[in-house]
């Protein structure tokens, strides 16, 4: 098992498997990248409508080809049908959102369920047609790379690469439109055309990925990697790159594990690997992760307790709060019996001065103080320019005198 895994991991498990894994990785990268733009536009679930809307097209294409040639499993034909009906679904979502007062979530839900329902009806028609070869279709529901033909794998790899290139070429307008459509328009970007291009790229990724991930789960490829990537950076270019990398790794690993044996559906494995990466990001990201957030909260609490404790020392007030006592003792500001040390005395004086200066600043310039994200714990010398601090000190001294 392990040998097979290592062989597949390093593309040594035969030409077909290598081609499928490489193709899946390229597909994952393209999906992650375009999904990042969808996430920033808060339209992640549009791809859910697109993927479900492929089913009637797939089934119709199968029926037409089966009637014409006797075999409905010709993949480019199936994908063309899928793209056509997914495009129709997309137009329906846009039309309902723009033309009626229904919101986008209603449009998405209606399109995905109705198109999928129609697809199911057509699937039962195929079953009744007695061609005995519906296996070609059911692989699209949950995805299966096992037993994929070489020509199919080649189509997927080439198409996914082309999609990735298109995203790379369009990255500037895509980014601009994400954040400021009016500014983008003044820069000569055609917002409507860019929107259409985004949707076309999502559609392309979805249709190409159908056979790999299956139409129920392909949506995860455009949602999970970008959401995970968002935890690691605040810059678009990096987020898109990270999303592409996560997508590639997840799809690659998923395809590798899936090639090891039966009962390991590719789509489900890719999604679970992506989800694991998402969970890791959620907990450990230094920027927005839960752990980092908890650390920030704890650090802030310590600083608040330290400041309040020092102010109490300066005013010779007794301190009862156990956490404050602990923080002061750790810092060496008080002895075990609660009496202030020499450092404690001077730190208390400094804290009083800080508090007085900040208080004065807040009184004199309430607007600036509000905008400065002030919580009074930043040393004033670091937060404000030296001349302002000097001015504040002079006013303070005058007042004291």
Site residues, other proteins (CB under 8 A): 39, 42-45, 48, 95-96, 99-103, 105-106, 108-110, 112-121, 123-125, 128, 138, 141-142, 216-217, 219-220, 223-224, 226-227, 230-231, 262-265, 267-269, 271-272, 274-275, 278, 282, 288, 290
Residue closer to other proteins by CB (options 263, 386) is 263
Q: Is 272 left (phi over 0), alpha (psi -120 to 50) or beta?
A: alpha
Residue (285 or 324) nearer to other proteins, CB? 285
Q: Please give the Cα distance from 330 to 302 (Å, whole number).
A: 11
Residue entry with tokens 């007042």: 399
Distances in Å between the Cα of 393 and the Cα atoms of 51, 64, 387, 398 are 65, 85, 10, 9
Distances (CA, A) of 202 to 107, 172, 224, 244: 17, 17, 14, 14
Shortest CA distance to 214 belongs to which of 275, 144, 280, 119? Answer: 144
Q: Exposed, middle or buried, 129 (CB in 10 Å: 0-12/13-18/19+)?
A: middle
State the minimum distance, in angstroms, from the CB of residue 45 to other proteins. Answer: 5
Closest separation in Å from C-beta 134 to other proteins = 11
Q: How far apart are CA 384 and CA 365, in angstroms?
A: 12
C-alpha–C-alpha distance, residues 157 and 334, integer Å: 68
**Closest approach of Cβ 46 to other proteins, in Å?**
9
- State in angstroms the smallest separation of the CB of 362 from other proteins: 29
* Rounded-to-integer distance, Cα 198 and Cα 213, Å: 21
Between 281 and 324, CB nearer to other proteins = 281
Q: Which is nearer to other proteins, 79 or 229 (CB)?
A: 229
Min separation Cβ 7 and other proteins, Å? 22
Closest contact distance (angstroms) between CB of 113 and other proteins is 4
Comparison of 101 and 399: residue with beta carbon closer to other proteins: 101
Contact, 23 vs 156, CB < 8 A?
A: yes
Q: Closer to other proteins at the Cβ: 337 or 373?
A: 373
Tell me how far the alpha carbon of residue 280 is from its chain's centroid.
13
Nearer of residues 120 and 299 to other proteins, judged by Cβ: 120
Q: Is the dihedral of CA 241, 213, 210, 14 positive or negative?
A: positive
Of the candidates 86, 90, 83, 88, the one whose C-alpha atom is nearest the C-alpha of residue 108 is 90
Q: How far is CA 355 from CA 76, 305, 307, 376, in A?
A: 72, 14, 9, 7
Residue 381 CB, nearest distance to other proteins (Å)?
33
CB of 58 to other proteins, least distance (A): 14
Q: How far is the CB of 337 from other proteins (least distance, A)?
A: 43
Of the two residues 254 and 344, which places its CB atom closer to other proteins in the complex? 254
User: Where does residue 235 rank: exposed (0-12), middle (13-18), buried (19+ CB within 10 A)?
Assistant: exposed
Q: Closer to other proteins by CB, 11 or 272: give it.
A: 272
Helix (H, G, I), strand (E, B) or coil at 97: helix
Least separation in angstroms between CB 271 and other proteins: 4
Q: Which is nearer to other proteins, 92 or 380 (CB)?
A: 92
Instruction: Find residue 340's DSSP bridge partners.
Output: 334
């Amino acid at each position: 098992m392990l040998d097979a895994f290592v062989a597949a991991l390093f593309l040594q498990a035969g030409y077909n498997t290598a081609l499928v894994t490489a193709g899946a990785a390229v597909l994952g990268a393209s999906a992650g990248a375009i999904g990042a733009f969808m996430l920033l536009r808060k339209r992640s679930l549009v791809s859910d409508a697109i993927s479900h809307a492929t089913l009637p097209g797939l089934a119709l294409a199968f029926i037409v080809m089966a009637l014409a040639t006797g075999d409905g499993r010709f993949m480019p034909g199936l994908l063309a049908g899928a793209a056509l009906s997914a495009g129709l679904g997309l137009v329906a979502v846009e039309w309902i959102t723009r033309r009626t007062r229904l919101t986008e979530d209603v449009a998405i839900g209606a399109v995905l369920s109705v198109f999928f329902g129609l697809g199911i009806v057509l699937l039962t028609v195929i079953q009744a047609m007695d061609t005995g070869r519906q296996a070609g279709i059911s692989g699209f529901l949950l995805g299966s790379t096992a037993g994929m033909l070489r020509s199919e794998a080649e189509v997927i790899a080439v198409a996914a690469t082309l999609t990735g290139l298109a995203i790379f070429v369009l990255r500037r307008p895509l980014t601009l439109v994400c954040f400021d459509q009016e500014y983008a328009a003044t820069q000569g970007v055609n917002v409507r055309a860019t929107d259409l291009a985004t949707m076309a790229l999502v559609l392309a990724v979805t249709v190409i990925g159908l056979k790999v991930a299956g139409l129920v789960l392909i949506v995860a490829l455009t949602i999970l990697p970008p959401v995970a990537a968002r935890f690691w950076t605040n810059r678009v270019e990096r987020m898109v790159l990270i999303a592409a990398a996560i997508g590639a790794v997840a799809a690659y690993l998923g395809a590798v594990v899936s090639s090891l044996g039966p009962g390991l559906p590719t789509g489900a494995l890719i999604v679970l690997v992506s989800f694991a990466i998402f969970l890791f990001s959620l907990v450990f990201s230094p920027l927005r992760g839960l752990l980092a957030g908890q650390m920030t909260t704890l650090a802030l609490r310590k600083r608040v307790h330290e400041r309040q404790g020092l102010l109490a020392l300066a005013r010779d007030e007794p301190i009862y709060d156990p956490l404050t006592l602990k923080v002061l003792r750790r810092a060496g500001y008080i002895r075990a019996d609660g009496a202030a040390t020499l450092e404690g005395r001077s730190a208390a004086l400094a804290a009083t001065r800080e508090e007085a200066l900040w208080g004065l600043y807040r009184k004199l310039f309430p607007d600036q103080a509000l905008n400065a994200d002030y919580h009074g714990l930043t040393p004033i010398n670091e937060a404000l320019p030296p001349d302002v601090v000097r001015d504040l000190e002079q006013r303070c001294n005058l007042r004291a005198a």
